[in-house]
Amino acid sequence: MVSQYRAELARRAAWHRQQRVLTVDYYRIRLKVAFPLPLVRPALPAFPVRGLPAYPWLTWLSWSYEERLHALAAHAGLADDESCREAVRRELRALASWPGYRQYDNPDLSAGHLLRLLGTARRGWPWLGRDVAAAVDAGIARGVDDLLPRIEARFGKYPDAAAILGLEKPGQVLQNIPVIGTLGAATAARAAGLAAAERLDAIALILVMATLDLRQDGHTEGVAYDGYVMDFVADWLAGVPAAQREAVMRHPRLGDLLDESIALGVPGKLEDVAPLGDVEPVEMPFHLSAHAKLERFESCPRRRWLLGQCDPARLRADALAILAGQDRAEAPAEAPPAGILDAHHAVVLRTGWAADDLAVAASCCRSTMNHIQLDAGSIVIGSGGRWLIDDPGYQQYMDTAERQFTIGPGAHNGPVINGRPQTHRRARLLERTESAHALRVTLDLTDCYEIGLDGLAVRRSIWLAAGQRAVVVADRVAGAGLDEVAYHWHGHPEAAWQTTAGTAALHIGTLALHIQSPHVAIDDAAICRLPGSRGQRTLCVRLTTPPPVVWWVFSCRDAPPAVTLAGPSGTRLMLGNQRFEA
């Protein structure tokens, strides 16, 4: 794999070396902006963004600039390429001359990224030369002087992690943006040998330990944003005293992120994690960078296995630089067992990780953080490197129809009851059982709804039947005044839809996923493009006199299986000769 990592870095460096502008993809608003190189001053475009007058332009610019300089610097070191070194030196001189690195009046994401970039260059690129190193030191000092009062104002009041954990809403203190800004400043201050480094390290340690401690109570921002924070934690750890590093590395919840990354990968393409909550796996693979960086401190067979499964083209350049620089014999990698897996903000049932395996991930989270959506019980089903039953997996911040598509009543496939979606993140995992024939979990979603129906009870059971290559879903919805249950099953954006004899099917290449329910005859009219969709289609079904149990069957096979109802009030379903009891 080392040769593949080096080849990918060489490819990127060759491309970046030819560029005269930094192209930044503001993908959430579908806009690409070109910034002349080198970047001699902070650039804030004036393009109008509906509903967002102060768009975070510098955040995405900093992502792209980090990627560019890491690719050039890594290849320069590996291939002894002086042209790459000179490009990096020239652009660092310009970046180091900026008056500051934040866009907003807080320790924000752009400050975190750009200070981390300067700190990484100062600590890890010994060929900068005396003049560039001095300029970088001066830029770091200026940036840290600007941020330190803002960091103190936000976090200086907390003497230890317990002070944060004792708050009514500790998660709001630990939101990713100011934590990342603080970690970037601490990383840079230590690299430049600033007097402020000791104080920043102390604050950073409190924030990191509080975040890890709070995970015991379900705190999470989802795999993408948990990984985003951990990516900065891992860089910060590289420069801190051993005692602080050991305190973090020995924390019992440090491994939660690895659980998320492994459990949520789609079979056949593990870097595409399940789109539950705000994820964006193509644009935000920071969790994989975090794993590569943590591997520097302690080798982990599961972590090495995960990184070895990922396409090098999907890793950020800082991760590739670490993996390409390995000069020791690769330690053994260990594939984790399949079955029912705890992804901490989701529960995952899977037969394995290969392309011909099948996985279903269900959101099951009680975290109050904003990147966790109101999607309890919503599922995605994956095989062949695709999430065939899909979810938007992001939220549009602009005030458009797309915002409703990503977070509105039809955004997820949990039941919409009497026209009302979920309003709380209060799912509970009631049951998980594994047998020779099927994996099963049952979620209690009752407290996620605030509808006003007497005796409301909502439970979703999910089975993965490996022998049938099928996922079965049973929803028990009850309550006085129950009039309607609606469903919105999103298909993969690349899928072709087909309806035949009351069933639907999704086709991508040779892979087919059949969708059927004994309660509805699906026809073409049920396949909709919801307002705000970027192209994907949705199976929309409204049951106006819902039965006590609503069944859905999803099967990856050549033809839809025979499905029949049995038992009192349709509480039993037969899939061929296999029985499922709700």
CA dist 268 → 58, 163, 165, 382, 506 (Å): 34, 44, 39, 9, 18
| Phi and psi based region of residue 61 (left: phi greater than 0; alpha: psi -120 to 50; beta: remaining) | alpha
CB 349 within 8 A of CB 330: no
Alpha helices in 193-252 (DSSP H): 197-214, 222-237, 242-249
- What pLDDT is stored for residue 371 in this prediction? 95
CB 75 within 8 A of CB 23: no
Under 8 Å CB-to-CB from 72, ≥6 apart: which residues?
A: 13, 16, 17, 84, 87, 88
Under 8 Å CB-to-CB from 480, ≥6 apart: which residues?
A: 453, 454, 455
DSSP E strands in 379-427: the ranges are 379-383, 386-390, 416-417
Q: What is the DSSP string of 343-374?
A: -SSEEEEES-SSTT--EEEEE------TTS-S
Q: According to the 3-state scheme, what is the secondary structure of 422-464?
A: CCCCCCEEEEEEECCCCEEEEEECHHHCCCCCCCCEEEEEEEE
- What pLDDT is stored for residue 1 in this prediction? 83
- What pLDDT is stored for residue 332 in this prediction? 76
Domains and CATH numbers, the chain: 2-41+54-324 (1.50.10), 341-581 (2.70.98.70)
- What pLDDT is stored for residue 325 in this prediction? 87
Q: What per-residue string of b and e applies to 7-22 under the rule 16 or more CB within 10 Å gives b?
A: ebbbebbeebeeeeeb
Q: What is the pLDDT along the chain (582 residues), one digit of tens a residue?
A: 899 999 999 999 999 999 999 999 999 999 999 999 999 999 899 999 998 989 999 999 999 999 999 999 999 999 999 999 999 999 999 999 999 999 999 999 999 999 999 999 999 999 999 999 999 999 999 999 999 999 999 999 999 999 999 999 999 999 999 999 999 999 999 999 999 999 999 999 999 999 999 999 999 999 999 999 999 999 999 999 999 999 999 999 999 999 999 999 999 999 999 999 999 999 999 999 999 999 999 999 999 999 999 999 999 999 999 999 875 556 678 889 999 999 999 999 999 999 999 999 999 999 999 999 999 999 999 999 999 999 999 999 998 999 999 999 999 999 999 999 999 999 999 999 999 999 999 999 999 999 989 999 999 999 999 999 999 999 999 999 999 999 999 999 999 999 999 999 999 999 999 999 999 999 999 999 999 999 899 999 999 999 999 999 999 999 999 999 988 889 999 999 999 999
- What pLDDT is stored for residue 330 in this prediction? 61
Alpha helices in 156-216 (DSSP H): 161-165, 170-173, 176-192, 197-214
- What pLDDT is stored for residue 327 in this prediction? 59
- What pLDDT is stored for residue 568 in this prediction? 84
* Surface-to-core class of residue 411, CB atoms within 10 Å of its CB (0-12 exposed, 13-18 middle, 19+ buried): buried
- What pLDDT is stored for residue 43 in this prediction? 82
**Integer Cα distance of 166 and 253 in angstroms:** 19
**Integer Cα distance of 568 and 546 in angstroms:** 15
